Amino acid sequence: MVTALMITESLGGWGVLRERLADYAAVIDRTRTGLPYAALEALAKRYAIALPRLLEVLGLPARTHARRKKERQLTTAESDRLLRLARVAASAEKTLGAADKAGQWLQKPNRALRGAAPLDLLDTDLGAEAVVTILGRIEHGVYS
């Protein structure tokens, strides 16, 4: 299971969030108030995901992205989508053992996901659950 601290680290940790989010309630509260824009960049850097690709997954148009960057704050809905991505990325990192391996795995087409890259499915809750299920299978040695 992915802990709140693992998710926090995916979002840049103390250096970005400026607070310790030690439990899920704290993560939820912070998401509801809006994550800092820097969390988006921190996640992109940690998992080596190109920013335009990440924005596509989050459904963030270029002009909105520019506005959020200037405001240095994401909305609640944008924060929720980023949190979903961070949760799955942290799960991949835990399962595969390293952030770079997790980033590569998230971007590579996967036969178990009908040829889609796991990152492509993270725009919906059901897609994210499908990816987490595959990670669970990998963790337990049940390769598909």
Mean of per-residue pLDDT scores for the chain? 94
The answer to whether the CB of 117 falls within 8 A of the CB of 106 is yes
Cβ–Cβ < 8 Å for 34, 68 = no
pLDDT of residue 17: 86
pLDDT in tens, 37-63: 999 999 999 999 999 999 999 999 999
- Structural domain boundaries in the chain: 4-139
Which residues have C-beta within 8 Å of that of residue 73, sequence separation ≥ 6? 34, 35, 36, 37
For residue 24, what are the contacts with CB-CB under 8 A and spacing of at least 6? 4
Show the tokens assigned to 60.
Answer: 């963030």
Q: If DSSP codes are grouped into helix, strand and coil, which group holds residue 9?
A: helix
| Residues 7, 93: Cα–Cα separation, whole Å | 10
Residue 99 clears pLDDT 80, i.e. is over it? yes
**The pTM is what?**
0.93
